[in-house]
Amino acid sequence: MAEVVSLEEHFAIVADTDYGTRPRRVLKHGDTFAVFDPHGDIVAIENGDQGLYHAGTRFLSRFELLLGRRRPFLLSSTISADNTILAADLTNPDVVRGDLVLVPRGSLHIFRARTLWNGHSLERIRIANHSTHPIQTPLALHFDADFADVFEVRGTRRERRGRRGGDEADADRAILRYEGLDRVERQTVIRWDRHPSRFDTGAVVFSITLEPQEVTEVEISVACEVGTPHGDVRFTDIIDRAREAVAARANRACLVTSSNESLNRWFSRSSADLHMMLTETPFGLYPYAGIPWFSTPFGRDGIITALQTLWAAPDIARGVLGFLAATQATTHVEAQDAEPGKILHETRNGEMAALGEIPFGRYYGSADATPLFVVLAAAYFERTADRALIDRLWPHILSALQWMEESGDRDGDGFIEYARRSATGLIQQGWKDSYDSVFHADGTLAAAPIALCEIQGYAYQAWRGAARLARLRGDLAESRDWRARATQLRSRFDQAFWCSELGTFALALDGTKQPCRVRTSNAGHCLFSGIATTARAGRIADALMTDAMFSGWGIRTVAGGEGRYNPMSYHNGSVWPHDSAIVAAGLARYGFTGAATRILCGMLDLSQAVDAHRLPELICGFHRRGGESPTLYPVACAPQAWAAGAAYMLLCACLGLEIDAASRRVSFRQSTLPEGVDWIRLTNLSVAEARLDLLLTRHAHDVGLEVLRRDGQVEILCVK
């Protein structure tokens, strides 16, 4: 029981018994996001995540539309294909007096359209009378704000909170106020453009009278203000701008279409989700990790999302590299697990972060983000030939490499290990960061410092990538040294991590250098990075595709039958789309494109079985049962940036797509297309200044390639 209730889990996400069964509608813009129910309401539910959030704080905890005292009936609701508008169609319930129906249900149509924009929620409500008689009804809006930090919403309890009060209301607005313990005043300003019949600091009521076939509208705006007031923003001013911004981003990326409508729906949703999760920073675009719990920059998540989408949208990688270079640690700060050269794990706004009640205001407890930063820089140059950015990043790359060599390898054995310095930081500092995710075959938790297998793969990949960049810059001695270091690391890694009896690499080495002999998806990351020798790759591929590892939907994080296997856990048996995509990319790297295609097919089927074709952060790892839907994980984020990016990495793996911008070359190696996909079209694929439209067609034993458009000089190779 000590492990179950240990302090290490005091930032766990708390859910009540029916949390995962509630349908949700999600919007995001910049640092603002919202979670609504299908009516378009925010309903105050204990341990519920519904709300309007901005900069780490919930600015609306209730926002309910009523006809009189009753909720309208829901006809339908949806998020637009471009993720800019939540649209809900509602109607009135029967209005009765005694046995007499005064107003039959379906007489009034209420249409709600809402969008978010830079700290604002903007809504237009249209009411139409489709009866043959005049109708008078009160339209009431009830609202409240608890100003809870997002970690409070997740379940973290606080001993003290700030002061709530000083609310006010008048005929055109209400203001809800909170002064935090951080001395920052936060307020929610709710405005309406129609004269109300009643109002106070918790509700506004409009008296609506409509003749037959008459239509009227009410516009509601909500501003989330931190310190300084916002100007008044209107729905009509914003909606076209929001859609134009999304369209402009989409036009810069490569468009994927195919003969298969299921695949088209998946890519359409993935593309829209990626665009929604992207946030403008002073350094370019950054994909926030996930809604609702991780709508903020995460180093590892941003890098992996950038790698997933690099072939289709390299501007994401550019923004990620710029942001992470600017936030790279320069000093030792134990409370933040910060060390010079280390790349950010996450950064948070909000009251609890400002007060240090959580360590994540700016936190560096990731041992993999730093080598992955170097990996992304090298991959970005290969994709874009953007020498100018590499030159600007070079001091940051050198600092990251120095961290890998020194602070990341404190005992000098050539492996990167981690052990937290912060008393409240993360115990596990790989992507599986649950406290119990690293263990031995008997289930005993591994003691720190811990060297994860995939992090050694990332380090190998980083040293090789840095060697290529150094050669480009004319630093030949460093290039030779770093390549030699990578070769030595590969040899030592194989000796220390290979488990012949399992046919795969150990999950990790513990603090006494004993291997954790457990079958996990982490070994698939070692294929992705290239640290596995060709001689080992076949056995690893076989292990990954057994029934113990492949659930039918994707790759389990931990194989069935292992000591801590639990298909309902966060990291010990669940299926994560981004993890499965990385494994598929690793399999394709060693020529196992059939296995990679099998994973793509599982993920494609998953996308058709979930709400809005949106891959969630993770699902439970139960084996796929014929004719049944996947078992959802109750508090999974959706959308999640690297879950959306998984579609792009999976397709790239199956096509064997490689882009060398410096040589102006696009290669397709051992391409495969799954059954049911006759052709795939890539539109507006960029290679330096050139643009391509390509058609790949499935044949019995290979894939054909046709160039539909070639603007600029590009060589295209198809390697069988």
Q: Which of 237-246, 374-383, 418-427 has the lowest mean pLDDT?
A: 237-246
Q: Is 416 exposed, middle or buried (0-12, 13-18, 19+ CB in 10 A)?
A: buried
- One domain, residues 44 and 189: yes
Q: Which pLDDT score, from 0 to 100, does residue 26 have? A: 95
Q: Which pLDDT score, from 0 to 100, does residue 2 have? A: 33
* Any domain includes 550: no
* Any domain includes 157: yes
- The Cα–Cα gap between 461 and 459 comes to 5
Residue 10 pLDDT > 70, yes or no?
A: no
Residue 163 pLDDT > 90, yes or no?
A: yes
Buried b (16+ CB within 10 A) or exposed e, 237-255: ebbeebeebbeebbeebbb
pLDDT tier at 22, thresholds 50, 70, 90 = low
φ, ψ dihedrals at 462, nearest 5°: -65, -45
Of 193, 209, 243, the one marking the end of a domain is 243
Residue 373: closest CA among 335, 316, 410, 320? 320
- The Cα–Cα gap between 680 and 290 comes to 29
Which one-letter amino acid corresponds to residue 601?
Answer: C
pLDDT, one tens digit per residue, over 467-505 is 999 999 999 999 999 999 999 999 999 999 999 999 999
Partners of 498 in beta bridges: 505
Mean pLDDT of 369-378: 98
For residue 451, give its domain range. 367-544
Cβ-proximal residues to 97 (8 Å cutoff; 6+ apart), any chain: none
Count of domains forming the chain: 2
pLDDT, one tens digit per residue, over 655-698 is 999 999 999 999 999 999 999 999 999 999 999 999 999 999 99
Partners of 123 in beta bridges: 114, 220
* Helical ranges in 498-628 per DSSP H: 522-529, 534-544, 577-589, 593-609
Partners of 507 in beta bridges: none
CATH at 53:
2.70.98.40
- One domain, residues 24 and 161: yes
Mean pLDDT of 6-23: 51
Residue 277 pLDDT > 90, yes or no?
A: yes
Residue 20 pLDDT > 60, yes or no?
A: no
Q: Which pLDDT score, from 0 to 100, does residue 5 have? A: 29
Is residue 377 a contact partner of residue 468, using CB atoms and an 8 Å limit? no
Residue 601 pLDDT > 70, yes or no?
A: yes
Q: Are strands 715-719 and 665-669 parallel, antiparallel or unpaired?
A: parallel
pLDDT, one tens digit per residue, over 80-96 is 988 999 999 999 988 77
Q: Which pLDDT score, from 0 to 100, does residue 241 have? A: 85
Q: Quick count: other Cβ atoms within 10 Å of Cβ 118?
A: 15
* Any domain includes 22: yes
Is residue 510 a contact partner of residue 517, using CB atoms and an 8 Å limit? no
pLDDT tier at 130, thresholds 50, 70, 90 = very high
Mean pLDDT of 10-39: 76
* Any domain includes 577: no
pLDDT, one tens digit per residue, over 198-209 is 999 999 999 999
pLDDT tier at 11, thresholds 50, 70, 90 = low
Residue 4 pLDDT > 50, yes or no?
A: no
| Averaged pLDDT score across all residues of the chain | 93
Of 180, 215, 243, the one marking the end of a domain is 243
Q: Which pLDDT score, from 0 to 100, does residue 243 have? A: 83
Residue 16 pLDDT > 70, yes or no?
A: no
pLDDT, one tens digit per residue, over 543-576 is 999 999 999 999 999 999 999 999 999 999 999 9
Mean pLDDT of 430-458: 97
Cis peptide before 196 (omega within 30 of 0): no
Mean pLDDT of 572-590: 98
Q: Is 641 exposed, middle or buried (0-12, 13-18, 19+ CB in 10 A)?
A: buried
DSSP string of 339-389, one letter each residue: -TTPPPSEE--SHHHHHTSSTTSEE---SSHHHHHHHHHHHHHHHH--HHH
- One domain, residues 48 and 192: yes
Residue 9 pLDDT > 50, yes or no?
A: no
Q: Which of 153-162, 178-187, 232-241, 404-413 has the lowest mean pLDDT?
A: 232-241
* Any domain includes 611: no
CATH at 479:
1.50.10.10
Token code pair at residue 482: 């770093």
The number of residues making up the chain comes to 720
* Any domain includes 485: yes
Mean pLDDT of 438-446: 97
* Any domain includes 120: yes
Q: Which pLDDT score, from 0 to 100, does residue 644 have? A: 98
pLDDT, one tens digit per residue, over 343-365 is 999 999 999 999 998 888 899 99
pLDDT tier at 102, thresholds 50, 70, 90 = confident
- The Cα–Cα gap between 597 and 30 comes to 35
Token code pair at residue 299: 């180093």
Q: Which residue has the higher pLDDT, 273 or 13?
A: 273
Residue 320 pLDDT > 50, yes or no?
A: yes
Residue 1 pLDDT > 70, yes or no?
A: no
φ, ψ dihedrals at 587, nearest 5°: -60, -45
Residue 220: closest CA among 130, 127, 82, 92? 127
Which one-letter amino acid corresponds to residue 525?
Answer: H
Partners of 109 in beta bridges: 91, 128
Token code pair at residue 404: 């890998």
Q: Which pLDDT score, from 0 to 100, does residue 105 have? A: 86
In Å, how far are 141, 299, 681 from 661, measured between CA atoms? 55, 26, 20
* Any domain includes 315: no
Q: Which pLDDT score, from 0 to 100, does residue 358 have? A: 86
φ, ψ dihedrals at 494, nearest 5°: -60, -40
Of 502, 524, 544, the one marking the end of a domain is 544
Residue 628: closest CA among 607, 604, 609, 603? 609
- One domain, residues 46 and 194: yes
- The Cα–Cα gap between 320 and 339 comes to 20
